[in-house]
Structure 1
Amino acid sequence: MSKIGVMTFWTSQFNYGQLLQGYALQAYLKKQGHEVYIIRFDSILSKIKEKCLLLFHGKFLADIKQKKLRKFNDFRTMNITYSNKRFGTYQALKSNPPKANYYIVGSDQVWAYMRNLERRHGYLLKFGTAKKLAYAASFGRDELKDDKNDYYLALKEFSFIGVREESGKEIVNSLGYNATWVTDPVTLLTAKEWRSIKADIHLPKNGKKNIFMYTLANESQNQLLPDIKKTLSREFNMYYTNSSEVPDNKCTLYPSPNEWLAYIDNSDVVVTDSFHCTMFCIIFNVPFVTIERENGKGMSNRLTSMLNRIGLIDRYTPCNSTVIMNKINEFPNWDNVNKTLTEWIQISKQQLTQNIK
């Protein structure tokens, strides 16, 4: 049994994917007999910036209300192990590193471009003497910028580099290192395991199908959303929430993580612009349409590369109500999808476990 410290994003009170990918990696590694915890690294400067943004938009109180409704902290308390110490700076990590045999960075966009050098060095694991691995680390971009030398020097110390997108593999290869394109941590758990923690929610059976719509953007960030919601509401029982950094009052519900899983699994169809919501639709074999993000087109590679690999790229559509309605009436061939994804998951698990003794 090894002691493993995981470096990933963990502080969000509204991003379901961030929370559940961290839970999934930890749960999987614990099943393998390891002692696992998420390192509570949270740059003080970034936290101050986040609060200032909410104050600037006059959304500070709405943010507090949203946190209470979504119950992320309750989920964390019940399901996730964290380091006792909170590291507010990179220097704190470097001077008193978390005790572990292995450090794993990932998943999520932990290798996105960061001007804040403290965050960049933290997520490149430039501290401690534990063996270093990456699992499903995402760059969220197609090429490095002025941080290229930082990555070249840091990745030299890694014994295994698993990335979440094909473009991430190409970036690592361009630095002269080998990388493996692995599945997101949420796929390391089975549909049965996810259903064991979902909430008990029963959606109505009134002759209309139930549709769950979950977006990362809100209506001020994507002005096409109101028309899409209006069109879908005419034909479906509609349930809508978003994970915008700036809260709004357009959501019809603010589900807990357990409820969020239930709305995906129990709905007849899901419409989303989220990578992780798409992944859970695939895990649960729920028909879905993934729409292009108007304010995040540069981050679409994580979706398109994954959907291409498992034969579902036709589920990715422009953000247009007519196109979405046409696509809703088409159904994936789940037998083919499940076969392809299962093979990929098995390779990913093998790569991860053989690098941890």
Structure 2
Amino acid sequence: MVMRIGIMTYHFSDNYGALFQAYALREWFLAQGYDAQFVNYHPEHVEGGGNFELGNFFSKKNLKVLYLRFSKLKTKFFGNRQQKKNFEEFRSNYLGVNGAEYKDISDLESASLEFDLLVCGSDQIWNPSDQFGLDPVYFLNFEIKNKNVRRISYAPSFGRDEISAKYHNQLIKMIKKLDGVSARELSGVSIITNLADIEVSCVPDPTFLLNDYSKVMTPYPLKVGRYVFCYALRSRAVIGEATEMIADNLGASIYSPYNSHRRWREIGETVYPCPRQWLYLMENSDFVVTNSFHGTALSILLNKPFIVVGLREGKSSLNARALNLLEAVGLRSRFIDNSTQEIIDEILNSPIDWRMVNANICNLRMQGEAYLNDQLSKMKGDIDG
């Protein structure tokens, strides 16, 4: 019988990086001959805010809930409907996600799910939110029909290099229930090992498990000419100026994908790609400028000249994710936190040694595969036993 694998991650997000890390993990399992599918868990608290806290309307939690609810309504009524449809089609056609959603633990447990292996990861599923905290479901802390199911994590991220002490006890309790534990960043490994006496593997983001993305790309109609692809999230600070300076130097246009959460001045010309076109735009650009983890990961995998612009002030803790990855492939110098002409000139005059980088990518891929194959072999042993 073919073993059934259930994957728990942020597969529902209208975010390019979230979709491609989900796609890559499932594709790897399918290539090994397993029946892999996503557990269609889509809790309201992740993007819709969830419930308000009673008694203190102006609490940090309530303000976050209010912001998320407003953003959801804004996107629903004023967002780009074609792009929304494109994300939904990608989930259906390339992630295999169809059917009803599960909104909470009771929905999951009443569904009588049948899997031999449950995998939680990747993305920031272990990053506690202001409005909800840690979600037990993303630690696979729920019951399914198969009482002997093996539960493991693959490359989940805390999103930062430390988490509040108020979550420590809950975190320890939930992680110790997993049969196999891994994290995406070394900082994540440190968080776990400092709190619990368990073995933790550091494995790469699922996008590194694949070495060819050509079959999932499709052209986006553009004007003829050179262009810089800017994938900016959360802020325009520094990245806007850096992109403009690089484009001026290269004599290139600037294209930036539409972002429904953008609250800053446009960087170049806004484009509206579906996920497959987003990857095509990156692949065919002359240069990529990003402040996104998956923008970084896919620039590396596609061997594109790129820089990563650090987030600032209250968002600076999120830089740990990209920095950890850049150090792992030997490209720490591609991270900048300022956009002076001297810094930009140095970047443009420093070609990347892709032979070295690709060797490091190969090593990362082997680490990820070794961890997954070890967990699969243990699952087979449990079944045979």
TM above 0.5:
yes
- 1:214 aligned to 2:235? no
**Secondary structure, aligned partner of 1:339:** helix
CA deviation vs aligned residue, 1:45-100 (integer Å, no higher than 9, x gap): 44542895367469725765324236111111211123644211123224445321
Residue of structure 1 equivalent to 2:197: 176
Residue of structure 1 equivalent to 2:173: 153
**Closer/same/farther in 2, CA of residues 255 and 351 from structure 1, 3 Å limit:** same
- CA drift at 1:111: 0.4
Is the contact made by 2:243 and 2:289 (CA closer than 8 Å) also made in structure 1? no
Q: Counterpart amino acid of 2:364?
A: W
Name the structure, 1 or 2, with higher relative contact order (CA <8 Å, separation 6+): 1
**Secondary structure, aligned partner of 1:49:** coil
1:338 to 358, 363, 369: 358
Residue of structure 1 equivalent to 2:331: 312
2:308 to 290, 293, 302: 290
**Secondary structure, aligned partner of 1:348:** helix
* Distance in 1 between residues matched to 2:339 and 2:264, nearest whole Å: 22
Is the contact made by 1:105 and 1:125 (CA closer than 8 Å) also made in structure 2? yes
CA deviation vs aligned residue, 1:276-313 (integer Å, no higher than 9, x gap): 11111111111111110136211111111111121100
Q: Counterpart amino acid of 2:254?
A: M
Is the contact made by 1:214 and 1:271 (CA closer than 8 Å) also made in structure 2? yes
Which residues in structure 2 correspond to 1:112-131 (within 5 Å)?
112-115=127-130, 120-128=135-143, 129=147, 130-131=149-150
**Closer/same/farther in 2, CA of residues 48 and 260 from structure 1, 3 Å limit:** closer
Residue of structure 2 equivalent to 1:162: 182
Is the contact made by 2:239 and 2:309 (CA closer than 8 Å) also made in structure 1? no
**Closer/same/farther in 2, CA of residues 244 and 171 from structure 1, 3 Å limit:** farther
- 1:277 aligned to 2:291? no
* Distance in 1 between residues matched to 2:371 and 2:358, nearest whole Å: 20
Q: Counterpart amino acid of 1:147?
A: Y
* Distance in 1 between residues matched to 2:237 and 2:200, nearest whole Å: 38
Is the contact made by 1:212 and 1:267 (CA closer than 8 Å) also made in structure 2? yes
Is the contact made by 2:155 and 2:183 (CA closer than 8 Å) also made in structure 1? yes
Structure 2: unaligned runs, 5 residues or longer: 51-64, 381-385
Is the contact made by 2:160 and 2:321 (CA closer than 8 Å) also made in structure 1? no
**Closer/same/farther in 2, CA of residues 31 and 63 from structure 1, 3 Å limit:** farther
Residue of structure 1 equivalent to 2:216: 197
- CA drift at 1:132: 0.5
Higher strand share: 1
**Secondary structure, aligned partner of 2:199:** coil
CA deviation vs aligned residue, 1:287-346 (integer Å, no higher than 9, x gap): 111110136211111111111121100001114252235313321100011111101211
- 1:186 aligned to 2:207? yes
TM-score between the two structures when normalised by the length of structure 2: 0.82
- 1:101 aligned to 2:116? yes
**Secondary structure, aligned partner of 2:370:** helix
**Secondary structure, aligned partner of 1:82:** coil
* Distance in 1 between residues matched to 2:359 and 2:237, nearest whole Å: 38
**Secondary structure, aligned partner of 1:133:** strand
Is the contact made by 1:292 and 1:316 (CA closer than 8 Å) also made in structure 2? yes
**Closer/same/farther in 2, CA of residues 222 and 237 from structure 1, 3 Å limit:** closer
Structure 1: unaligned runs, 5 residues or longer: none
**Secondary structure, aligned partner of 2:135:** helix
